Structure 1
Amino acid sequence: MQPSRPEDKSWTVASAKAKLSEVIERAQATPQTIMRNGKPSVVVVSAEEWQRKTARKGTLAEFLMQSPLRGADLDLERQRDEPRDLQL
């Protein structure tokens, strides 16, 4: 299932191995899917795309402040159990 046109984005493992440079080149423009046993296995993306997708979007505090549960009157009770004895 080697791509025959530039807009094709799927590769078999064998064709991706044989044409890795082409897979990398095409991944600069659009994600490339590598299929294993007829099913999508991995996607190759440019480093720029990966950084954009994995960049941190704010702090943990900002995330918690935007929670839909903020301000909810939750009745949370802390367990007061004794610590368990760990034998190493």
Structure 2
Amino acid sequence: MWTIQDAKNKFSSVVDAALAGTPQEVTRRGKPAVVVMSASEYHHLLAEAQRSRGSFIEHLLAFPGEDIEGAQVEPRSVEF
């Protein structure tokens, strides 16, 4: 894990380690901020996430609409 200052000072080392297959975590003020990883690993993760995600239509069809009772709303009286 790198502090942001160390990562800036040794950016080539951060990139080399990420290209070697080890994602590099960078912190800001002691809290995790970013992860530097190789572009190929990023694209692999992105493709995997897109494959495992269903379509929006599948999401809508899976909605349990029949099991949920609608709210009983009555209009209120408004005087002008």
Fold shared by both chains (TM-score > 0.5): yes
2:16 to 15, 19, 25: 25
TM-score, normalization by structure 2 = 0.63
Corresponding residue SS for 2:66: coil
Q: How many pairs were matched up?
A: 65
Distance 1:35 1:69, change over 3 A: same
Ranges in structure 2 where 5+ consecutive residues have no aligned partner: 71-80
Corresponding residue SS for 2:32: strand
Question: What is the letter of the counterpart of residue 74 of structure 1?
Answer: E
TM-score, normalization by structure 1 = 0.58
What CA distance in whole angstroms lies between the structure 2 residues aligned with 1:16 and 1:75? 52
2:43 is the counterpart of 1:69: no
- Give me the CA root mean square deviation: 3.0
Shift of 1:69: 2.8
> Residue 14 of structure 1 aligns with which residue?
5
What CA distance in whole angstroms lies between the structure 2 residues aligned with 1:35 and 1:22? 16
Distance 1:59 1:51, change over 3 A: same
Q: Give the percent of matched residue pairs that are identical in Structure 1 and Structure 2.
A: 35
2:68 is the counterpart of 1:60: no
